[in-house]
Amino acid sequence: MMTPSREDYIKAIFKHNEKGTKLNNKDLSENLSVSAASTSEMIRKLIDTGHVDRDKTMGLMLTEEGKNEAKDLVKKHRLWEVFLVNHLGYSWTEVHDDAEVLEHVTSSKLADRLNEFLDEPKHCPHGEIIFGNSEEVDDSTVSLASLTIDDHGTFQKVSDTGELLEYLEVIKFKLNDDFKVVKKLPYEGPIVVEVNGLEVSISYHAAQEIFVLKHH
Protein backbone atom coordinates (compact mmCIF):
# COMPACT_ATOMS: atom_id res chain seq x y z
CA MET A 1 0.00 0.00 0.00
CA MET A 2 1.10 3.57 -0.58
CA THR A 3 1.23 5.83 2.46
CA PRO A 4 -2.20 5.26 3.95
CA SER A 5 -4.49 8.25 3.95
CA ARG A 6 -6.73 9.40 6.76
CA GLU A 7 -9.52 7.48 5.03
CA ASP A 8 -7.54 4.26 5.10
CA TYR A 9 -7.20 4.57 8.88
CA ILE A 10 -10.92 5.11 9.23
CA LYS A 11 -11.68 2.07 7.09
CA ALA A 12 -9.22 -0.13 8.95
CA ILE A 13 -10.78 0.79 12.30
CA PHE A 14 -14.25 0.21 10.84
CA LYS A 15 -13.35 -3.32 9.74
CA HIS A 16 -12.09 -4.19 13.22
CA ASN A 17 -15.11 -2.65 14.94
CA GLU A 18 -17.43 -4.63 12.66
CA LYS A 19 -15.70 -7.87 13.54
CA GLY A 20 -15.85 -6.93 17.20
CA THR A 21 -12.13 -7.42 17.78
CA LYS A 22 -10.12 -5.23 20.12
CA LEU A 23 -7.84 -2.74 18.37
CA ASN A 24 -4.94 -0.66 19.70
CA ASN A 25 -2.47 1.68 18.00
CA LYS A 26 0.09 -1.09 17.66
CA ASP A 27 -2.30 -3.49 15.83
CA LEU A 28 -3.35 -0.65 13.58
CA SER A 29 0.19 0.36 12.61
CA GLU A 30 1.02 -3.29 11.81
CA ASN A 31 -2.22 -3.58 9.89
CA LEU A 32 -1.41 -0.57 7.71
CA SER A 33 2.37 -1.17 7.66
CA VAL A 34 3.16 2.28 9.02
CA SER A 35 5.31 3.47 11.88
CA ALA A 36 3.95 3.71 15.40
CA ALA A 37 4.66 7.45 15.32
CA SER A 38 2.53 8.15 12.23
CA THR A 39 -0.24 6.02 13.64
CA SER A 40 -0.41 7.86 16.95
CA GLU A 41 -0.28 11.18 15.14
CA MET A 42 -3.22 10.24 12.91
CA ILE A 43 -5.19 8.79 15.81
CA ARG A 44 -4.69 11.98 17.77
CA LYS A 45 -6.08 13.97 14.83
CA LEU A 46 -9.05 11.65 14.43
CA ILE A 47 -9.83 11.91 18.14
CA ASP A 48 -9.58 15.71 17.94
CA THR A 49 -12.01 15.89 15.02
CA GLY A 50 -14.46 13.57 16.80
CA HIS A 51 -14.12 10.58 14.46
CA VAL A 52 -12.46 8.16 16.89
CA ASP A 53 -12.83 7.40 20.59
CA ARG A 54 -10.83 5.21 22.91
CA ASP A 55 -12.85 2.52 24.64
CA LYS A 56 -11.49 0.82 27.78
CA THR A 57 -12.21 -2.71 26.56
CA MET A 58 -12.38 -2.44 22.77
CA GLY A 59 -9.61 0.06 22.20
CA LEU A 60 -10.03 2.30 19.16
CA MET A 61 -13.66 2.81 18.17
CA LEU A 62 -15.23 5.00 15.52
CA THR A 63 -17.75 7.54 16.72
CA GLU A 64 -21.09 7.85 14.91
CA GLU A 65 -19.48 10.45 12.65
CA GLY A 66 -16.49 8.23 11.94
CA LYS A 67 -18.77 5.29 11.23
CA ASN A 68 -20.81 7.28 8.74
CA GLU A 69 -17.69 8.31 6.87
CA ALA A 70 -16.45 4.71 6.79
CA LYS A 71 -19.77 3.41 5.50
CA ASP A 72 -19.75 6.04 2.80
CA LEU A 73 -16.33 4.90 1.61
CA VAL A 74 -17.21 1.23 1.76
CA LYS A 75 -20.40 1.93 -0.18
CA LYS A 76 -18.44 3.67 -2.94
CA HIS A 77 -15.97 0.77 -3.02
CA ARG A 78 -18.72 -1.81 -3.39
CA LEU A 79 -20.64 0.21 -6.00
CA TRP A 80 -17.52 0.42 -8.15
CA GLU A 81 -17.05 -3.33 -7.76
CA VAL A 82 -20.55 -3.93 -9.09
CA PHE A 83 -19.91 -1.54 -11.98
CA LEU A 84 -16.59 -3.14 -12.91
CA VAL A 85 -18.02 -6.67 -12.84
CA ASN A 86 -21.38 -5.97 -14.52
CA HIS A 87 -20.27 -3.44 -17.10
CA LEU A 88 -16.55 -3.75 -17.73
CA GLY A 89 -16.16 -7.51 -17.62
CA TYR A 90 -13.96 -7.70 -14.53
CA SER A 91 -14.00 -10.93 -12.56
CA TRP A 92 -14.63 -10.77 -8.83
CA THR A 93 -10.94 -11.46 -8.22
CA GLU A 94 -9.85 -8.39 -10.19
CA VAL A 95 -12.06 -5.64 -8.81
CA HIS A 96 -10.46 -4.89 -5.48
CA ASP A 97 -7.45 -2.77 -6.47
CA ASP A 98 -9.28 -0.46 -8.85
CA ALA A 99 -12.25 -0.08 -6.50
CA GLU A 100 -9.78 0.81 -3.74
CA VAL A 101 -8.42 3.71 -5.81
CA LEU A 102 -11.80 4.88 -7.14
CA GLU A 103 -13.52 5.04 -3.74
CA HIS A 104 -11.19 7.86 -2.66
CA VAL A 105 -11.92 10.09 -5.65
CA THR A 106 -15.69 9.62 -5.83
CA SER A 107 -17.86 12.59 -4.83
CA SER A 108 -21.24 11.95 -3.23
CA LYS A 109 -22.88 13.19 -6.41
CA LEU A 110 -21.00 10.64 -8.50
CA ALA A 111 -21.75 7.89 -5.98
CA ASP A 112 -25.47 8.73 -6.09
CA ARG A 113 -25.55 8.71 -9.89
CA LEU A 114 -23.60 5.45 -10.00
CA ASN A 115 -26.02 3.93 -7.49
CA GLU A 116 -28.98 4.95 -9.65
CA PHE A 117 -27.32 3.74 -12.82
CA LEU A 118 -26.72 0.34 -11.23
CA ASP A 119 -30.32 0.19 -9.97
CA GLU A 120 -29.40 0.36 -6.29
CA PRO A 121 -27.70 -3.02 -5.98
CA LYS A 122 -28.05 -4.74 -2.62
CA HIS A 123 -24.73 -6.61 -2.59
CA CYS A 124 -21.22 -6.34 -3.97
CA PRO A 125 -19.86 -9.22 -6.08
CA HIS A 126 -18.49 -10.80 -2.90
CA GLY A 127 -21.88 -10.85 -1.21
CA GLU A 128 -21.27 -7.96 1.19
CA ILE A 129 -24.20 -5.59 1.68
CA ILE A 130 -24.26 -2.13 0.14
CA PHE A 131 -25.16 0.35 2.88
CA GLY A 132 -28.34 2.28 2.23
CA ASN A 133 -29.57 -0.25 -0.36
CA SER A 134 -29.69 -3.25 1.96
CA GLU A 135 -31.03 -3.38 5.47
CA GLU A 136 -28.31 -3.79 8.07
CA VAL A 137 -29.82 -6.74 9.84
CA ASP A 138 -27.77 -8.80 12.25
CA ASP A 139 -25.45 -11.01 10.28
CA SER A 140 -26.87 -14.51 10.46
CA THR A 141 -24.08 -16.15 8.49
CA VAL A 142 -21.50 -18.47 10.02
CA SER A 143 -18.14 -19.54 8.67
CA LEU A 144 -18.08 -22.71 6.59
CA ALA A 145 -15.33 -23.98 8.89
CA SER A 146 -17.80 -24.10 11.79
CA LEU A 147 -20.13 -26.61 10.10
CA THR A 148 -20.10 -30.37 10.58
CA ILE A 149 -20.85 -33.39 8.40
CA ASP A 150 -24.37 -33.46 6.90
CA ASP A 151 -24.94 -29.74 7.50
CA HIS A 152 -26.64 -28.01 4.57
CA GLY A 153 -26.35 -24.38 3.64
CA THR A 154 -26.03 -21.65 1.03
CA PHE A 155 -22.83 -19.75 0.27
CA GLN A 156 -23.53 -16.14 1.19
CA LYS A 157 -20.37 -14.03 1.18
CA VAL A 158 -16.61 -14.26 1.16
CA SER A 159 -13.80 -12.08 2.44
CA ASP A 160 -12.65 -9.69 -0.22
CA THR A 161 -9.00 -10.78 -0.39
CA GLY A 162 -7.20 -11.58 -3.62
CA GLU A 163 -5.64 -14.86 -2.61
CA LEU A 164 -8.90 -16.40 -1.42
CA LEU A 165 -10.83 -15.24 -4.49
CA GLU A 166 -8.28 -16.71 -6.87
CA TYR A 167 -8.53 -19.99 -5.02
CA LEU A 168 -12.32 -19.91 -5.20
CA GLU A 169 -12.18 -19.30 -8.92
CA VAL A 170 -10.00 -22.38 -9.34
CA ILE A 171 -12.53 -24.56 -7.51
CA LYS A 172 -15.40 -22.89 -9.45
CA PHE A 173 -17.06 -21.61 -6.31
CA LYS A 174 -20.17 -19.42 -6.71
CA LEU A 175 -22.19 -17.38 -4.26
CA ASN A 176 -25.80 -18.48 -3.65
CA ASP A 177 -25.02 -22.13 -4.46
CA ASP A 178 -26.49 -24.66 -2.04
CA PHE A 179 -24.17 -27.26 -0.60
CA LYS A 180 -23.91 -30.12 1.85
CA VAL A 181 -20.88 -30.96 3.99
CA VAL A 182 -19.88 -34.54 3.16
CA LYS A 183 -16.51 -34.81 4.85
CA LYS A 184 -14.56 -32.83 7.41
CA LEU A 185 -11.05 -33.96 8.09
CA PRO A 186 -9.59 -33.60 11.57
CA TYR A 187 -6.79 -31.26 12.60
CA GLU A 188 -8.00 -28.38 10.46
CA GLY A 189 -7.93 -30.55 7.37
CA PRO A 190 -10.00 -29.72 4.28
CA ILE A 191 -13.78 -29.68 4.27
CA VAL A 192 -15.42 -31.55 1.41
CA VAL A 193 -18.74 -30.16 0.24
CA GLU A 194 -21.17 -31.38 -2.39
CA VAL A 195 -22.23 -28.58 -4.74
CA ASN A 196 -24.31 -29.08 -7.87
CA GLY A 197 -23.69 -32.82 -7.73
CA LEU A 198 -19.92 -32.43 -7.49
CA GLU A 199 -17.65 -32.93 -4.51
CA VAL A 200 -15.30 -30.01 -3.88
CA SER A 201 -12.57 -29.94 -1.28
CA ILE A 202 -12.05 -26.57 0.41
CA SER A 203 -9.05 -25.90 2.62
CA TYR A 204 -9.81 -25.19 6.27
CA HIS A 205 -8.12 -21.82 6.01
CA ALA A 206 -10.34 -20.75 3.09
CA ALA A 207 -13.42 -22.18 4.84
CA GLN A 208 -12.83 -19.72 7.69
CA GLU A 209 -13.24 -16.84 5.19
CA ILE A 210 -16.38 -18.20 3.52
CA PHE A 211 -19.66 -17.28 5.18
CA VAL A 212 -22.76 -19.37 4.78
CA LEU A 213 -26.39 -19.43 5.75
CA LYS A 214 -26.98 -22.72 7.52
CA HIS A 215 -30.25 -24.51 6.69
CA HIS A 216 -32.13 -26.01 9.61
The verdict on 72 binding Zn ion (CB under 5 A) reads no
Strand order in the sheet with 191-195: 142-143, 210-214, 152-158, 178-184, 191-195, 198-202
* Minimum CB–partner distance for residue 125 and Zn ion (Å): 6
Nearest to 142 by CA among 209, 213, 216: 213
Among 32, 84, 124, 130, binds Zn ion (CB under 5 A): 124
The verdict on 126 binding Zn ion (CB under 5 A) reads yes
Q: What are phi and psi of 77, to 5 degrees?
A: -55, -50
The verdict on 76 binding Zn ion (CB under 5 A) reads no
The verdict on 130 binding Zn ion (CB under 5 A) reads no
Nearest to 71 by CA among 133, 143, 164, 121: 133
The verdict on 209 binding Zn ion (CB under 5 A) reads no
* Minimum CB–partner distance for residue 57 and Zn ion (Å): 30
* Minimum CB–partner distance for residue 90 and Zn ion (Å): 11
Largest distance between two CA atoms of the chain: 57
Closer to Zn ion by Cβ: residue 103 or 160: 160
Scanning 18-26, 39-47, 135-143, 155-163 for contacts with Zn ion by CB under 5 A, the matching segment is: 155-163
Nearest to 151 by CA among 198, 196, 202, 192: 192
Helix (H) or strand (E) holding 89: none
Closer to Zn ion by Cβ: residue 58 or 114: 114
- Binding to Zn ion (CB under 5 A): which residues in 84-103? none
Scanning 25-33, 50-58, 103-111, 159-167 for contacts with Zn ion by CB under 5 A, the matching segment is: 159-167
Beta carbons within 8 Å of 46's beta carbon, 6+ residues apart: 6, 9, 10, 52, 66
Among 34, 160, 164, 173, binds Zn ion (CB under 5 A): 160
Scanning 38-46, 100-108, 156-164, 175-183 for contacts with Zn ion by CB under 5 A, the matching segment is: 156-164
Q: Which residues bind Zn ion (CB under 5 A)?
A: 81, 124, 126, 160
